[in-house]
């Protein structure tokens, strides 16, 4: 009888090895996903805080970074953002795109000597104020550090 059981020991060892390998790989993968998630959250928050600081100064002809959005595009399904948080992030980055485009137009007007550039500058400043309040709301709601 003991000889019958010993025949299965290598098979049992292999099964235990597969199980342990799977368990530790899943644990490692979960840690990597959490690390990646936190990195993207940190990049997004840093971009929002930098933009907020620029906007508080008023009109500035410097474009806003959208690296966080680009990082998020590739991994959005894997992370634990709420739908409301995703909508807020997308809206703010959409505002960045609009502001960046308007700044491009302002530069063209500046170079061309267009007199309507001041009107555009005022519209950009107003849009920055609105975007700044959306960033404040986002940071207040989702940021771990409330440095708004």
Structure tokens at 67: 């690296």
Residues spanned by the domain of 81:
42-142
Residue 136: inside a domain: yes
**CA of 120: how far to CAs of 41, 52, 65, 69, in Å?**
32, 20, 21, 26
Answer yes or no: is 74 within a domain.
Answer: yes
Number of domains in the chain: 1
> Is 130 a member of any domain?
yes
Going residue by residue through the chain, which has 148 residues, state the pLDDT in tens, using 9 for 90 and above: 455 778 888 888 888 999 999 999 999 988 988 888 888 889 999 999 999 998 888 888 888 998 888 888 776 666 778 889 989 999 999 999 999 999 999 988 888 888 788 888 889 999 999 999 999 999 999 988 754 4
Q: Which tokens belong to 96?
A: 């960045």
Taking the alpha carbons of 45, 51, 55, 56 in that order, is the dihedral positive or negative?
A: positive
Tell me if 59 is assigned to some domain. Answer: yes
Residue 48 maps to a domain: yes
User: 6 lies in a domain?
Assistant: no
- CB-CB contact of 99 with 128 (8 Å): yes
Distance CA 127, CA 14 (A): 63
**For residue 80, how many other CB atoms are within 10 A of its CB?**
8
Q: Rounded CA gap, 122 and 31, in Å?
A: 47
Instruction: Give the global pTM.
Output: 0.75
Determine phi and psi for 67, rounding to 5 degrees. Answer: -65, -40
Residue 37 in domain: no
């Amino acid at each position: 009888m003991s000889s019958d059981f010993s025949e299965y020991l290598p098979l049992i060892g292999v099964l235990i090895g597969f199980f342990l390998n799977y368990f530790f790989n899943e644990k490692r993968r979960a840690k990597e996903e959490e690390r990646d998630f936190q990195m993207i959250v940190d990049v997004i928050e840093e971009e929002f805080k930098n933009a907020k600081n620029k906007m508080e100064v008023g009109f500035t002809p410097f474009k806003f970074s959208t690296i966080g959005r680009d990082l998020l595009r590739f991994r959005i399904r894997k992370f634990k953002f709420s739908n409301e948080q995703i909508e807020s992030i997308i809206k703010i980055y959409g505002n960045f795109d609009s502001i960046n485009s308007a700044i491009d137009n302002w530069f063209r007007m500046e170079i061309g000597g267009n007199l309507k550039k001041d009107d555009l500058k005022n519209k950009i400043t107003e849009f920055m104020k609105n975007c700044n309040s959306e960033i404040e709301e986002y940071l207040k709601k989702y940021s771990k550090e409330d440095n708004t």
